Protein backbone atom coordinates (compact mmCIF):
# COMPACT_ATOMS: atom_id res chain seq x y z
CA UNK A 1 0.00 0.00 0.00
CA UNK A 2 2.81 2.41 0.88
CA UNK A 3 4.49 1.59 -2.43
CA UNK A 4 1.34 2.52 -4.35
CA UNK A 5 1.00 5.82 -2.48
CA UNK A 6 4.70 6.54 -3.04
CA UNK A 7 4.34 5.83 -6.75
CA UNK A 8 1.30 8.13 -7.06
CA UNK A 9 2.95 11.06 -5.32
CA UNK A 10 6.57 10.67 -6.44
CA UNK A 11 6.79 8.19 -9.30
CA UNK A 12 4.12 9.76 -11.49
CA UNK A 13 5.79 13.16 -11.03
CA UNK A 14 9.16 11.80 -12.14
CA UNK A 15 7.68 10.13 -15.24
CA UNK A 16 5.53 13.15 -16.11
CA UNK A 17 8.39 15.62 -15.77
CA UNK A 18 10.29 13.56 -18.35
CA UNK A 19 7.26 13.44 -20.69
CA UNK A 20 6.65 17.18 -20.28
CA UNK A 21 10.25 18.05 -21.13
CA UNK A 22 10.23 15.67 -24.12
CA UNK A 23 7.03 17.20 -25.52
CA UNK A 24 8.35 20.77 -25.06
CA UNK A 25 11.59 19.80 -26.85
CA UNK A 26 9.62 18.09 -29.62
CA UNK A 27 7.42 21.19 -30.04
CA UNK A 28 10.36 23.59 -30.24
CA UNK A 29 12.16 21.35 -32.74
CA UNK A 30 8.99 20.96 -34.80
CA UNK A 31 8.36 24.69 -34.83
CA UNK A 32 11.91 25.33 -36.03
CA UNK A 33 11.17 22.89 -38.89
CA UNK A 34 7.93 24.65 -39.86
CA UNK A 35 5.44 22.37 -38.09
CA UNK A 36 2.53 24.00 -36.24
CA UNK A 37 1.65 20.88 -34.21
CA UNK A 38 3.55 17.75 -33.32
CA UNK A 39 2.36 14.24 -32.70
CA UNK A 40 3.89 12.49 -29.69
CA UNK A 41 3.35 9.19 -27.92
CA UNK A 42 1.02 11.00 -25.49
CA UNK A 43 -0.99 12.99 -28.04
CA UNK A 44 -0.93 15.99 -30.33
CA UNK A 45 0.67 19.14 -28.92
CA UNK A 46 0.51 22.68 -30.25
CA UNK A 47 1.45 25.17 -27.52
CA UNK A 48 3.62 25.80 -24.48
CA UNK A 49 2.30 27.55 -21.34
CA UNK A 50 4.58 29.70 -19.21
CA UNK A 51 3.41 31.22 -15.91
CA UNK A 52 6.02 33.69 -14.61
CA UNK A 53 4.70 33.49 -11.01
CA UNK A 54 5.71 29.81 -11.02
CA UNK A 55 9.34 30.59 -11.91
CA UNK A 56 11.50 31.49 -14.88
CA UNK A 57 11.91 27.90 -16.05
CA UNK A 58 8.22 26.92 -15.73
CA UNK A 59 6.99 25.62 -19.08
CA UNK A 60 4.32 23.05 -19.80
CA UNK A 61 3.15 21.64 -23.11
CA UNK A 62 -0.50 21.84 -24.15
CA UNK A 63 -1.94 18.65 -25.62
CA UNK A 64 -5.27 18.30 -27.38
CA UNK A 65 -8.03 16.80 -25.25
CA UNK A 66 -8.27 16.03 -21.57
CA UNK A 67 -7.55 12.30 -21.61
CA UNK A 68 -5.51 10.75 -18.81
CA UNK A 69 -2.54 10.54 -21.20
CA UNK A 70 -2.75 14.23 -22.15
CA UNK A 71 -3.08 15.38 -18.54
CA UNK A 72 -0.16 13.18 -17.49
CA UNK A 73 2.05 15.06 -19.98
CA UNK A 74 1.05 18.67 -19.31
CA UNK A 75 -2.02 20.80 -19.90
CA UNK A 76 -5.02 19.42 -21.75
CA UNK A 77 -6.99 21.67 -24.13
CA UNK A 78 -10.73 21.13 -23.77
CA UNK A 79 -12.23 20.05 -27.09
CA UNK A 80 -14.62 22.52 -28.71
CA UNK A 81 -13.11 25.54 -26.98
CA UNK A 82 -11.20 28.31 -28.76
CA UNK A 83 -7.57 28.02 -29.73
CA UNK A 84 -4.80 30.29 -28.41
CA UNK A 85 -5.50 33.95 -29.17
CA UNK A 86 -8.87 33.23 -30.77
CA UNK A 87 -12.15 34.91 -29.93
CA UNK A 88 -13.86 32.80 -27.29
CA UNK A 89 -12.55 30.75 -24.40
CA UNK A 90 -9.24 28.88 -24.64
CA UNK A 91 -9.91 26.41 -21.81
CA UNK A 92 -7.12 24.32 -20.26
CA UNK A 93 -6.99 21.71 -17.49
CA UNK A 94 -4.02 20.28 -15.59
CA UNK A 95 -3.26 18.20 -12.52
CA UNK A 96 -2.66 19.86 -9.18
CA UNK A 97 -1.15 16.78 -7.53
CA UNK A 98 0.67 13.87 -9.20
CA UNK A 99 1.59 13.68 -12.89
CA UNK A 100 4.03 16.59 -12.74
CA UNK A 101 1.73 18.89 -10.73
CA UNK A 102 1.47 21.67 -13.37
CA UNK A 103 -1.07 23.64 -11.31
CA UNK A 104 -0.05 22.69 -7.77
CA UNK A 105 0.39 26.37 -6.89
CA UNK A 106 -2.76 27.63 -8.61
CA UNK A 107 -4.12 29.09 -5.33
CA UNK A 108 -1.07 31.40 -5.32
CA UNK A 109 -2.09 33.05 -8.61
CA UNK A 110 -3.31 36.62 -8.22
CA UNK A 111 -5.31 39.01 -10.36
CA UNK A 112 -2.89 40.60 -12.83
CA UNK A 113 -0.57 37.57 -13.08
CA UNK A 114 0.35 36.60 -16.63
CA UNK A 115 -0.19 33.33 -18.44
CA UNK A 116 1.90 33.21 -21.61
CA UNK A 117 0.92 30.82 -24.40
CA UNK A 118 3.48 30.23 -27.12
CA UNK A 119 2.57 28.62 -30.44
CA UNK A 120 4.52 28.03 -33.65
CA UNK A 121 3.74 31.51 -34.94
CA UNK A 122 2.72 33.68 -31.99
CA UNK A 123 3.15 34.42 -28.33
CA UNK A 124 -0.06 35.35 -26.50
CA UNK A 125 -0.08 37.03 -23.11
CA UNK A 126 -3.18 36.67 -20.97
CA UNK A 127 -3.74 38.50 -17.68
CA UNK A 128 -5.71 36.90 -14.86
CA UNK A 129 -8.93 38.71 -13.97
CA UNK A 130 -9.74 36.29 -11.14
CA UNK A 131 -7.35 34.86 -8.54
CA UNK A 132 -6.37 31.20 -8.61
CA UNK A 133 -8.49 30.40 -5.57
CA UNK A 134 -11.43 32.76 -6.24
CA UNK A 135 -13.75 30.20 -7.84
CA UNK A 136 -14.51 26.61 -6.86
CA UNK A 137 -17.06 24.67 -8.93
CA UNK A 138 -18.18 21.08 -9.25
CA UNK A 139 -16.57 19.09 -12.06
CA UNK A 140 -19.93 19.17 -13.88
CA UNK A 141 -20.03 23.00 -14.08
CA UNK A 142 -19.86 23.20 -17.87
CA UNK A 143 -20.54 26.95 -17.92
CA UNK A 144 -16.83 27.62 -17.27
CA UNK A 145 -16.10 26.24 -20.76
CA UNK A 146 -18.61 28.49 -22.56
CA UNK A 147 -17.27 30.98 -25.11
CA UNK A 148 -18.26 33.76 -22.71
CA UNK A 149 -18.66 32.14 -19.27
CA UNK A 150 -21.38 33.59 -17.03
CA UNK A 151 -21.34 32.53 -13.40
CA UNK A 152 -24.86 31.45 -12.40
CA UNK A 153 -24.20 32.63 -8.83
CA UNK A 154 -24.86 36.35 -8.54
CA UNK A 155 -21.64 38.13 -7.59
CA UNK A 156 -19.53 35.03 -8.26
CA UNK A 157 -16.18 35.17 -10.06
CA UNK A 158 -16.61 35.58 -13.79
CA UNK A 159 -14.63 37.10 -16.68
CA UNK A 160 -15.61 40.47 -18.20
CA UNK A 161 -18.78 40.15 -20.25
CA UNK A 162 -17.60 41.67 -23.55
CA UNK A 163 -18.71 40.19 -26.88
CA UNK A 164 -15.67 39.14 -28.91
CA UNK A 165 -13.53 38.62 -25.78
CA UNK A 166 -10.46 36.43 -26.05
CA UNK A 167 -10.34 34.48 -22.81
CA UNK A 168 -8.26 31.77 -21.17
CA UNK A 169 -9.61 29.46 -18.48
CA UNK A 170 -7.45 27.34 -16.16
CA UNK A 171 -9.01 24.43 -14.28
CA UNK A 172 -7.55 22.00 -11.74
CA UNK A 173 -8.55 20.00 -8.66
CA UNK A 174 -9.70 22.15 -5.75
CA UNK A 175 -7.95 20.02 -3.13
CA UNK A 176 -4.59 18.29 -2.96
CA UNK A 177 -6.31 14.96 -2.51
CA UNK A 178 -9.18 13.46 -4.50
CA UNK A 179 -12.10 15.82 -4.96
CA UNK A 180 -14.88 16.35 -7.47
CA UNK A 181 -14.53 20.12 -7.11
CA UNK A 182 -12.39 22.26 -9.40
CA UNK A 183 -10.53 25.54 -8.98
CA UNK A 184 -11.09 27.80 -11.99
CA UNK A 185 -9.34 31.04 -12.96
CA UNK A 186 -10.15 33.34 -15.88
CA UNK A 187 -7.77 35.52 -17.89
CA UNK A 188 -8.12 37.94 -20.81
CA UNK A 189 -5.78 38.38 -23.76
CA UNK A 190 -3.67 41.52 -23.38
CA UNK A 191 -1.15 41.13 -26.18
CA UNK A 192 -0.17 38.99 -29.16
CA UNK A 193 3.13 39.15 -30.99
CA UNK A 194 4.99 37.03 -33.52
CA UNK A 195 7.07 34.24 -31.97
Structural domains of the chain, ranges and CATH numbers in brackets: 2-194 (2.40.260.10)
Given a cut of 90, whether residue 16 has pLDDT beyond it is: no
Given a cut of 50, whether residue 135 has pLDDT beyond it is: yes
Give 157's DSSP letter. Answer: -
Kindly state the average pLDDT of the residues 47-71: 94
- Band of pLDDT at residue 141, cut at 50, 70 and 90: very high
- Band of pLDDT at residue 177, cut at 50, 70 and 90: low
**pLDDT given for residue 180 in this prediction:** 81
Under 8 Å between Cβ of 149 and 162: no
Given a cut of 80, whether residue 34 has pLDDT beyond it is: yes
Distance, in Å, from the CA atom of 24 to the CA atom of 37, rounded to the nearest integer, reads 11
Kindly state the average pLDDT of the residues 115-137: 97
Phi-psi region of 137 (alpha: psi -120 to 50; beta: other; left: phi over 0): beta
CA dihedral 161, 96, 108, 84 (to 10 degrees): -40
Amino acid sequence: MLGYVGWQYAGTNWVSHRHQAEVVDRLETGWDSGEERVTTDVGDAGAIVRIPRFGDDYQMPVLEGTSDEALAAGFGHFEDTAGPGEVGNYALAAHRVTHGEPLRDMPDLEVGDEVIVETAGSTYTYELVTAGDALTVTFTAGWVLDSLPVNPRPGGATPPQRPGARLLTLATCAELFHTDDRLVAFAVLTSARPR
